[in-house]
Structure 1
Amino acid sequence: MSEPRYFTVAEANALLPTLKPLLSKLLQRRALVSISAQNSGSQLHETYANIGGPEISAMTQDFIAIQILIDKILSYGCILKDLNGGLIDFLSERDGRIVYLCWKYDEPEVQYYHELNAGFGGREPL
C-alpha cells in the first residue's frame, strides 16, 4: 500500500477542476441507480430469480461505472467521505497536526478543515 498523500490548500484547490466533473458524474449515476432501484422495487424479487435479466444487467453496469468513478477520484490521493453529500477530504498538516482539508461539491473551493476524528460537524474555516 502506498503512503498517503498530503495536500496543501493550494494543491487541493488545484485538483478541484479535475474532481468536480468526476464527482458530478458519480452523483448523477448514483441518483439514476437510486431511482432505478425505487422504480424496480417490486420487480427486483422476480429479477433476482432471473439473474440474466436486463434489469440486473443494467444495474450491474451502473454499479461498475460508479466503482470506476470512485476509484478514479481516490487515485488522486483524496478521500471520498460522503457520496450522497459529495464530500471529499484531503490529508493535510496544520499547525503541526495532521488534519483533513474538507470540501463539499457545491463549494467553490476548499475553505474548511477538521481534525481527523471530528468529521463534517467539526469543520472550521481555514
Structure 2
Amino acid sequence: MTDERLFTIAEANAELDELRGRLPRLREARQRLIDTSERITSAVEVDGGGVEGSDWFRAQESLKAELLWLADRGILLRDPETGLIDFPAERDGMRVFLCWQLGEDEVAWYHDEQTGFSGRKPV
C-alpha cells in the first residue's frame, strides 16, 4: 500500500491560499530558466555563461523549492502555465483527483485517473 496522501475537499481548499501565492512564483522561476537557458547558450561561447549562469542557478533553486513544497504535501502540479493542480482523493471507494486551477475560487471539480481535465465533474 502506498503512503500517498488523500485529500478531502476541505483539506484541498485549505491549501489554496498558499497555492495562489506559490504558483505565480513557480511560473516566474520556470520562465526565468527558459529565458536564461537561451541567453546562456549565446554567452557561454564568450565568457562561460557569466551572469546568465548565476541567474539560471537562482531560478533553478527557486523552481526546485516550489516543486518540493508541492511534493511534500502530496499536491500534483499538472500544468505550471495554467496553475492546474490535482489533489489525490477517494470518492465512492475509487481513487480520483480533486481538480483546481489558478483563478478558480475553490476546489469544485474532480476527475478519475483516466479522463483528466477534460473529464472534470462537479464535486
Normalization by structure 1: what TM-score? 0.84
Partner Cα distance (1:21, 1:86) in 2: 11
Task: Indicate the larger mover: 21-30 or 91-100.
Answer: 21-30
| Counterpart residue number, 2:85 | 88
RMSD over aligned CA atoms reads 2.1
Q: Stretches of 4+ moved more than 4 A in 1?
A: 35-38
| Counterpart residue number, 1:18 | 18
Partner Cα distance (1:50, 1:9) in 2: 52
1:115 aligns with 2:96: no
The offset of 1:25, in angstroms, is 1.3
Partner Cα distance (2:30, 2:96) in 1: 29
Q: Partner of 1:113: helix, strand, or coil?
A: strand
Identity of aligned residues (%): 35
- The structure-2 alpha-carbon separation of the partners of 1:48 and 1:88, relative to structure 1 and needing over 3 Å to count, comes to farther
Q: Partner of 2:15: helix, strand, or coil?
A: helix
Partner Cα distance (2:35, 2:21) in 1: 21
Aligned residue pairs, count = 122
Gap regions ≥5 residues in structure 1: none
Normalization by structure 2: what TM-score? 0.86
The offset of 1:35, in angstroms, is 4.2
The offset of 1:30, in angstroms, is 2.3
Q: Partner of 1:84: helix, strand, or coil?
A: coil
Structure 2 contact 84–102 (Cα < 8 Å) conserved: yes
After TM superposition, list the pairs within 5 Å mapping 1:1-126 onto structure 2.
3-37=3-37, 40=39, 44-47=41-44, 50-51=47-48, 53-126=50-123
